[in-house]
Amino acid sequence: MAVGAHPEPEPTPALAPPASRYINRELSRLDFDERVLAMAEDPRLPLLERVRFLAIFSQNVDDFFQVRVAGLKEQVLAAISVASPDGLSPVEQLKAIRARVESLVDRQVGLYKREIVPALAQSGIAIVRADEVSKRELAQLHTVFREQIFPVLTPLAVDPGHPFPYISHLSLNLAVRVRDPQRPRQPRFARVKIPPVLPRFIPLVDGERYVPLEDVIAVHLPALFPGMEIVAHHPFRVTRDGDLDDVDSDAEDLLAAIQTELRRRRRHARVVRLEVDPGMSAEVLDLLMRELELQPGDVYQLDGLLDMGSLSVLTRLDRPDLKEETWTPTTQPRLRGIGAEAPDLFAVLRSGDVLAHHPYDSFATSVEALIDQAASDPDVLAIKQTLYRTSGPASPIVRALIRAAERSKQVVALVEIKARGDEQANIGWARALEEANVHVVYGLLGLKTHAKVTLVVRREGGHIQHYLHVGTGNYNPNTARGYEDVSLLSADSDLGADVTELFNLLTGYSRQSRYRKLLVAPTNLRTGITQLIEREAVVGGRIIIKVNNLIDQEIIDALYAASQSGAQVDLLVRSMCSLRPGVPGLSERIRVRSIVGQFLEHSRIFMFGNGGRPEYYLGSSDLMPRNLDRRVEAVVPVSDSRLRHRLQQILDISLADDVLAWELGPDGAWRKVPTVLGLNSHNRFKELAIESAHGNGVHGVANA
């Protein structure tokens, strides 16, 4: 909509009560998981893409329980009765969560059994249970079990001489009831862990039929308990509290504190969910609940395959006919060399900034290439980089940093060892960096460092030149192929000075709070974003924000006020959104959309109309209290007119999507956007990248 094309705003009404102003963040997160599940339900998608989304849904729910549900349970145990912004107590939220999860899991199981399994079988990938195999196949399973599975198994008895064993986080297990023929009235309980080091599905002779590993083990339980009668066996799975945010960041040795907490949680983290087979006997279920200290509300019955996240292994099968066509990122024209000769990226950046839109634009030939060239360039004096998640010591970026240190350059890696799920891996490769004489630091006390920033310091003649990268995604080549992100590469002197001061803050002692261009959390990012929103709170004001999550009350209230004052607001929010759009008198000028497709929407882009002279920002921060107040984040303005045009193009295409897009209504419900134009934003970005590679299209102009 053109600037100034809005009607005069109505008088601002009295503020609505909190329950109608905000959507519960936990239920909003489950709304996102439902959108992922809807992708698995879409028969228009290739079959293994549907399987991939089914697995992602399961993994998302696992993550939700180990973090969000665990946090609510901690509040209940601590008798913290503070209501959420929408007015629900922790107990009320847990009840609502259970109802939603049960409904979603029922849909997941039904989809798997009624559609996915038959469709896989028709395509030559049959998942069969143990009672469906032929005698010939059973003989094969006997051999596989004896040679490959049996040596790995460790059955654990439970009796007065054998205490109940520790059940590890997200492990799949068999609860086994056995009876000694000499003491038939004293049935015994044992636990058999399904080893995660073995394949989840065992292929049969024809290569088209697969048996779940737990079924193979169940068939051979007599070999594990010779001389015993197998009374019953049931699979079960445990989810534990997996959040490390309560680690004392003021500890004298943070690395040691993290390792200690990881060890402690490995043995003592509270169980927050028990998934069981619905046929499990009451006696066995009572035993598990008692030993794991659970209530009935913590138990979920699944009449199907437990741990559907493991279905992701099927997506690695060599079946291109059942998948989306593999996308190969293109290299932007300005980043291409001549013939086989690689470009001088320093010269490219001195002539102007570069914007990369991943995975459409190659991460390898942009971000990785800059760091690789810096590691080899004899005039580069220093490389400084934040590392939140990466692919470990084998990462091209980590290898480049090590190579740079070996060439006596000053190399600093700020490693965030509290990156949830990657703590142990980050500790491992942080030590590998230290062994290569890279200066490894762990950031500021009490704050996670989530910023995605690299600084290269180079001697050029008689002066020092700074080159930098600020992005929205992790320095991880694996996720760069599947996550949608944006990167700014620049030689801007003011940004170079800002990033230098940011690294001084992160590695030394500094109270730096003012920057020339950067918005940095937790110092000036919240106030900066709020002021930019407030500036647009006029008739004709324009705001477009693309983030993963929007749950911060202060930011939401500022957006409400801007809407009430006449601003048009479009929000692209991938996952959690607590803002309620389209409410008369509150937010009728706000539209909220979410895109779920082949690539994970991950970029954070901010556009503010500024009276017809739009301003654009990109960076690492979502609009959540943790990002704005408890993390180090970096958001950078984009000043080059060509790059601003490119960012607007990304936003416009995303807002026009009517294939992958969902829209949030004033009632808090998400609905699929009706397909009229048939615009799939992911496919359109691929087309633009290809046009750019051939020297055509706006994409090429934007990065010329």
State the catalytic residues.
450
CA angle 346, 352, 355 (to 5 degrees): 95
Long-range CB pairs of 249-258 (<8 Å, 24+ gap) are 249/418, 249/445, 249/446, 249/447, 250/445, 250/446, 254/417, 254/442, 255/417, 255/427, 255/430, 255/442, 258/417, 258/418, 258/423, 258/427
Long-range CB pairs of 490-496 (<8 Å, 24+ gap) are 490/349, 490/353, 490/354, 491/346, 491/349, 491/350, 491/353, 491/465, 491/466, 491/467, 492/353, 492/468, 492/517, 492/639, 493/466, 495/466, 495/468, 495/470, 495/636, 496/455, 496/465, 496/466, 496/467, 496/468
- E strands, 506-541, are 519-521
Report the run of H or E that residue 650 belongs to, with start and end.
helix 641-656
Before 522, cis peptide (omega within 30)?
Answer: yes
> What torsion, rounded to 10 degrees, do the Cα atoms 233, 107, 30, 272 define?
-10
Q: Is 672 left (phi over 0), alpha (psi -120 to 50) or beta?
A: beta
Instruction: Say how many C-beta atoms besides its own lie within 10 A of residue 252's C-beta.
Output: 7
Hey, what are 100's tokens? 């939603």
* Residue 636 CB-half CA count within 13 A: 32
Before 666, cis peptide (omega within 30)?
Answer: no
Long-range CB pairs of 334-341 (<8 Å, 24+ gap) are 334/703, 334/704, 335/365, 335/366, 335/369, 336/365
Question: Which residue in the block uniquely carries the two structure tokens 């190659």?
Answer: 362
Instruction: In whole angstroms, give the CA distance from residue 583 to residue 313.
Output: 44
> What torsion, rounded to 10 degrees, do the Cα atoms 192, 198, 202, 206 define?
-150
